Every structure is written in C-alpha cells, then in structure tokens.
C-alpha cells in the first residue's frame, strides 16, 4: 500500500531549520512572554501620537519593534503546526500567537486614526524637525489616503479585536480540510491501494489509467459532498464577514474594500476578466487538444489535468530540480543565483509530504529570520516549478529586507506573485533551451501551457466566482450550497465549453482554500501576466541570447523596493503597466503561440 510517512521518518536534510528561530519551545515561550508584556507600552502614547516629531518617531519605532517580534513568534508557531496539523500542542501555540497578534493590532489601532488628524503639510513640517521621519513618508501617505475609510479609535480597536473572530471561518476550514477530513484509498491498475490526500489529488489525476482517474475523482469529491452544507455555511459566513467589514469602513462593496487596501483600481480586476473572456477560444483549443491527446470523444473533468504528452511525465528528483532551478536564474545575475543556491543548502525548504502536514506550498519567514518554504514535493516537473515559484517569493523577501526598513518589508500580494512567476518563466526558457531530450522538452512545453491555464484562466474563473458570491450577499440573496454550485457550474461551463461539466465539478469551489482570503486569487492572474512581460524584456532573444542586463536590473530594483511605492508604480519600475490590458494580451498571445506549437508536435 502506498502510504505517507510520519514526520519522524523524514530525513532532516529535507526539513526546514526552525531551530534557527527558536532553539526550543521554551525559547519561544520566553519570546512570547516578552513581547506580550511590551504590547501594553503602546497605550502610553494614546492621544499623543502627533504631539511633536520626537513622539511620533518613538511611536513608530515602538510599534515596529513589537510587530517584528509578534510576527516571528506567530510564524514559528504556525510553521510548527503546519509540520503536522493534527499536533494539539502546536495548534495551541498557533492559537495563542494569533491572539497575541490580534492584541497587538488592537493596542496599536489608535495610531492611524490619530495620524489622520494631520494634513500632509503638517507631516512635512514634522519631517523638517525630525528628518528620520522621512522614512515613513509613503506609509503616512497611504494612511492619509485611507482616511475616508478609517473609523474612530474606539471603532478601530473594536474591529481589531474582532479580527480573530471574522477570520475564524478560514481557520475552521483549514482544520476541517487538513486535519479532520479523511479521504478513502483507491485501487490502482496494479492492485495497490493508494491513499488520496489533499496534496496528491491533482497528481493522481495525471495517472494514465482513465478508470483510475475517474475513481480518484469521484471518491475525492464524494468526500467533500458529505460535508457540503458545513463548507457552504463556513464560506457563507466568510463572505458575510467580508461584506460587513467593508460596510463598517464605508465601502460600497467588499471587492472595492479589498482592492483599495493595496491601492489597486477596480478597473484592473475588470480588465483582467474582460481580456480573459475575449480569449476563451484559446482555452477551448487547449481543451480540445486534451481530448485529442487522450483519444476520447468527450473530455471529462477527471481528464483535465492530464498532460498533452499523454502520460505522467518524467521523474524529477529534488536534487535535479534544485540544479535546474538555480541554473535557470543566471539571467538575473550571479549574486541572485548564488544566494538561491546557498539557501537551498541552508534548510530553507521543508521538502516532502508527511502525515498531517499542511497541504500545498508557501514561502514563509519574517523580517528577522531566513526564508522558509513548505513543499509537498512529488518528484515531478510540476513540483520543480512550485519550488522555483516559492523561491521567487523568498528572494523577493530577502532583497526587500536588504534595502528596506521593516515598515516596507511586507509587500502586497499583487506584486508578490510577479516575483514567483518570473522564476517559473525563466525555468521554462532555460529548460527549452538546454535540455536535449525531446520528450522532456514536450513535458516542459506542456507545463508552460498548464501553468497559464491554471494560473491565468483558472484563477480568473475563481475571481469571477468570489465576485459573484459577494455580490449575491450584498444584494441580500441567500448563499446556499445549491446557489454556490449553480454559480460555479455556470462559470465552469463557459470556461471549459468543449468538456463535460458534471455535478461533482460544480462543487469544486469547496476545495479552494484561497476563497477564505477574499479577492486574493485574481492577483495570480495579473502576476503571471506581468511576469511573462518582464521575462520577455529580460530575455529578448530567448534563453539562448544575451540577457538584457538593464531590464534585469530594473526587475531587481523592483524587488528591492518592497512596498515603498504602490503596486502599479512598483511594476512600472520593472517596465510593466498593469493599468492596461497589454501585459495580459502579451501573456495570452504567448499561450496561443505555444498551443499552436504543441498542436503541430501532436500532429
């Protein structure tokens, strides 16, 4: 029987080094207690934030010091929990850290309302008195921009206190999907029992035996269906919390509130959706090619993840993947490349799946720690691309920390997904240029097509779904499980027109954890669009030509800027204007060209 190992069975060489943060849990406790005591120090400044320049600088310094410590305490607890989500001890530590973070946010909640009593001219006068305040100019500009949507200090404190409650549905969903749900085993063509997990589900849908894929698909979604009303209730209340919070801050819609935080115009969202809809014919062509590759009349939903190459693809062991990824980053310069290589040798990555481990992948860490990457590596091309993706996030954080103070270290997701996807695109170019094996090259080409399908098209479909779900709530329509199924099914039918849309796929929305962080997913689609435009500039002649060093340096400068400017301004540093459809059109044009290339190979 194929089984997932216990945590203790995984070689330390392939685990992250959380002891570099706190050597023991006792050290974590000491750090927790120390920063918990400091939180109360903020209260002494309430009502005095803008009394004079020196006081304002002291407030900023104290708040930043506390938030730095809180973020590290919280990150350690969460990553320990994610090693095994069934571990009660680390569930408890995570809950305590989340409460501490909420307390710290609540304690600091008076700062921004008091700042908003200043005019920009008055702040400039304070800077003249205390030049160190100049560091905070962009931050203050952002705070003043949000004045129409910031409530009194009393209300802000209440909203901060409630943040733990309003975000509870996401935590409930996470525990349900990762710790409590148990998926059945299915028998593979060799008679071996294979355990379905959140991490391996998609990979199992890439197995060549169609009957096996169907069994995996049906058993997986049937397990979700058994919890259909529970998950619908969780999502409904998550949407309701988004809407009520937006209303409390005087926004017309939850979407407007979510996009106003990073100062991204709603038009950017709509332009993405409109441009993708104008290019659905390319996705339909991709779907038709899948049916052709599989030699089936009707493409079923358990066929969608199958590669156009018609099989599972070559094995890519982790060591080989790290070599390919590091080599692919040469166009960004020796310093960037060597830093990634050193990180891979320094236990940045928790590589393999283990029993109870958080599914998926992410890049973590804080301003005061090394990067940490959670993976569930599956020895395939897709996992190699995920590694490249997460290293992009980690290097974005590292370069930001090199150049920016803490206040600008937490960059917006809108730009974060650019850094990760640039690495993916560089990996594609490198592999197509340097790997001679024609079958491997076909799989790389397929991976590119799948990345665009799943990142640009699929995430835009998700964006449409959550926009409609929030609109229904705002219009007073009940968000029942049936209604959510209906909305999702309609979108799936439009996007995957040539395929068969069944009742199970109408419930796919249930398995998407990102929906509990509203209006997040569209940024994957804008991110890949911007990234492909940047790589086109860095590699004007493809991987075989000389990199454009000026374009590469512009991109690195974009990474170093953190959040010191607004997202659209930052991307203009890298040569991309996301206020237009141009980057999206370029990405979809590239997708169309690669589809035609694959079509010709298949003939």
56-104 residue pLDDT tens: 999 999 999 999 999 999 999 999 999 999 999 999 999 999 999 999 9
Question: Is residue 206 a part of any domain in this protein?
Answer: no
Question: Is residue 424 a part of any domain in this protein?
Answer: yes
Which of 69, 156, 390, 565 is an active site residue? 390
233 and 141 assigned to the same domain = no
Domain CATH code at residue 125: 1.20.140.70
Q: Decide which of 119, 137, 166 is a domain's last residue.
A: 166
Range of the domain at 281: 227-346+380-603
339 and 478 assigned to the same domain = yes
Q: Which residue has the tokens 């009707």?
A: 298
525 and 429 assigned to the same domain = yes
Which conformational region is residue 584 in: left (phi greater than 0), alpha (psi within -120 to 50 degrees), or beta?
alpha
Q: How confident is the model at residue 546 (pLDDT cuts 50, 70, 90)?
A: confident
Residue 48: Cβ-neighbour burial (10 angstroms; 0-12, 13-18, 19+): middle
Average pLDDT over residues 347-364: 95
Domain CATH code at residue 603: 1.10.1370.20
Give residues with Cβ within 8 angstroms of 410, minimum separation 6.
562, 563
Do the beta carbons of residue 488 and residue 145 sit within 8 Å?
A: no
Neighbour-count burial for 589-598, b at 16+ CB within 10 Å, e otherwise: ebbbebbeeb
Confidence check: pLDDT of 545 > 80: no
**What total number of domains does the chain contain?**
2
HSE-CB at 240 with a 13 A cutoff on CA atoms is 14
3-state helix vs strand vs coil in the chain, percent to 5? 70, 5, 30
Give residues with Cβ within 8 angstroms of 379, minimum separation 6.
315, 316, 317, 318
- Residue % of the chain over a pLDDT of 90: 83
Question: Is residue 469 a part of any domain in this protein?
Answer: yes
Question: Is residue 151 a part of any domain in this protein?
Answer: yes
317 and 437 assigned to the same domain = yes
Q: Kindly report the number of other CB atoms within 10 A of residue 415's CB atom.
A: 27
**Per-residue pLDDT at 203:** 86
142 and 237 assigned to the same domain = no
Q: Taking the mean position of all CA atoms in its chain, how far away is CA 60?
A: 29
Nearest-Å Rg of the Cα atoms of the chain is 24
Q: Decide which of 166, 185, 209 is a domain's last residue.
A: 166
**Per-residue pLDDT at 1:** 42
510 and 418 assigned to the same domain = yes
412 and 314 assigned to the same domain = yes
549 and 421 assigned to the same domain = yes
497 carries an active-site annotation: no
Question: Is residue 153 a part of any domain in this protein?
Answer: yes
Q: Decide which of 166, 182, 204 is a domain's last residue.
A: 166
**Per-residue pLDDT at 543:** 52
Give residues with Cβ within 8 angstroms of 503, minimum separation 6.
485
Question: Is residue 374 a part of any domain in this protein?
Answer: no
Q: Taking the mean position of all CA atoms in its chain, how far away is CA 104?
A: 25
Question: Is residue 196 a part of any domain in this protein?
Answer: no
Average pLDDT, the chain: 94
pLDDT in tens, 498-519: 999 999 999 999 999 999 999 9
399 and 502 assigned to the same domain = yes
Question: Is residue 435 a part of any domain in this protein?
Answer: yes
Dist CA 474 CA 495 (whole Å): 25
CA dihedral 458, 463, 466, 472 (to 10 degrees): -120
Confidence check: pLDDT of 378 > 60: yes
103 and 231 assigned to the same domain = no
104 and 240 assigned to the same domain = no
601 and 479 assigned to the same domain = yes
- Residue % of the chain over a pLDDT of 70: 99
Dist CA 261 CA 150 (whole Å): 12
**Per-residue pLDDT at 592:** 93
Average pLDDT over residues 294-305: 95
């Amino acid at each position: 029987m194929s089984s997932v190992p216990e945590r203790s069975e995984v070689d330390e060489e392939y685990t992250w080094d959380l002891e570099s943060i706190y050597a023991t849990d006792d050290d974590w406790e000491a750090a927790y207690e120390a920063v918990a005591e400091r939180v109360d120090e903020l209260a002494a400044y309430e009502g005095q934030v803008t009394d004079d320049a020196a006081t304002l600088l002291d407030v900023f310094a104290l708040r930043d010091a506390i938030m730095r410590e809180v973020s590290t305490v919280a990150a350690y607890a969460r990553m320990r929990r994610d090693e095994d989500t069934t571990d009660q001890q680390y569930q408890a530590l995570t809950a305590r850290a989340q409460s501490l973070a909420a307390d710290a946010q609540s304690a600091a909640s008076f700062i921004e309302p008091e700042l908003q009593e200043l005019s920009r001219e008055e702040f400039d006068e304070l800077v003249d008195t205390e030049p160190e305040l100049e560091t905070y100019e962009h931050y203050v500009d952002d705070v003043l921009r949000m004045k129409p949507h910031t409530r009194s200090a009393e209300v802000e404190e209440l909203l901060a206190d409630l943040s733990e409650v309003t975000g509870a549905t996401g935590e409930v969903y996470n525990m349900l999907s990762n710790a409590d749900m148990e998926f059945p085993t299915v028998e593979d063509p060799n008679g071996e029992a294979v355990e379905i997990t959140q991490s391996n589900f998609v990979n199992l849908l890439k197995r060549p035996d169609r009957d096996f894929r169907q069994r995996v698909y049906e058993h997986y979604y049937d397990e979700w269906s058994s919890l259909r009303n529970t998950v619908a209730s969780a999502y409904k209340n998550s949407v309701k919390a988004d809407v009520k919070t937006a209303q409390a801050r005087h926004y017309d819609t939850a979407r407007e509130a979510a996009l106003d935080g990073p100062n991204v115009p709603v038009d950017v969202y709509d332009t993405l959706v409109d441009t993708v809809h104008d290019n659905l014919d390319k996705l339909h062509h991709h779907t038709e090619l899948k049916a052709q590759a599989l030699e089936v009349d009707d493409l079923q939903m358990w066929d969608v993840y199958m590669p156009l190459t018609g099989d599972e693809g070559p094995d890519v062991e982790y060591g080989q993947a790290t070599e390919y990824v590091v080599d692919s980053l040469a166009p960004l310069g020796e310093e960037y490349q060597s830093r990634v290589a050193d990180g891979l040798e320094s236990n940045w990555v928790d590589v393999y799946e283990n029993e109870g481990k958080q599914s998926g992948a992410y890049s973590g860490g804080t301003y005061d720690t090394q990067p940490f990457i959670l993976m569930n590596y599956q020895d395939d091309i897709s996992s190699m691309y995920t590694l490249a993706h997460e290293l992009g996030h980690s290097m974005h954080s590292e370069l930001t920390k090199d150049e920016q103070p803490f206040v600008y270290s937490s960059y917006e997701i809108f730009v974060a997904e650019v850094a990760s996807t640039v690495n993916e695109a560089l990996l594609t170019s490198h592999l197509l240029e340097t790997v001679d094996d024609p079958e491997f090259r076909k799989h790389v080409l397929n991976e590119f097509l799948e990345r665009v399908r799943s990142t640009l098209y699929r995430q835009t479909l998700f964006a449409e779904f959550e926009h409609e779900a929030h609109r229904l709530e705002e219009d007073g329509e009940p968000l029942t499980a049936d209604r959510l199924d209906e909305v999702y099914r309609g979108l799936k039918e439009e996007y995957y027109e040539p395929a068969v849309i069944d009742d199970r796929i109408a419930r796919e929305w249930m398995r998407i954890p990102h929906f509990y962080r509203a209006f997040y997913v569209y940024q994957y689609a804008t991110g890949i669009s911007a990234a492909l435009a940047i790589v086109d500039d860095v590699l004007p002649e493809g991987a075989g030509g000389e990199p454009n060093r000026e374009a590469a340096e512009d991109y690195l400068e974009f990474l170093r800027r953190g959040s010191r400017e607004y997202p659209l301004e930052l991307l203009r540093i890298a040569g991309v204007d996301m206020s237009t459809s141009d980057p999206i059109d370029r990405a979809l044009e590239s997708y169309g060209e690669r589809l035609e290339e694959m079509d010709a190979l298949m003939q």
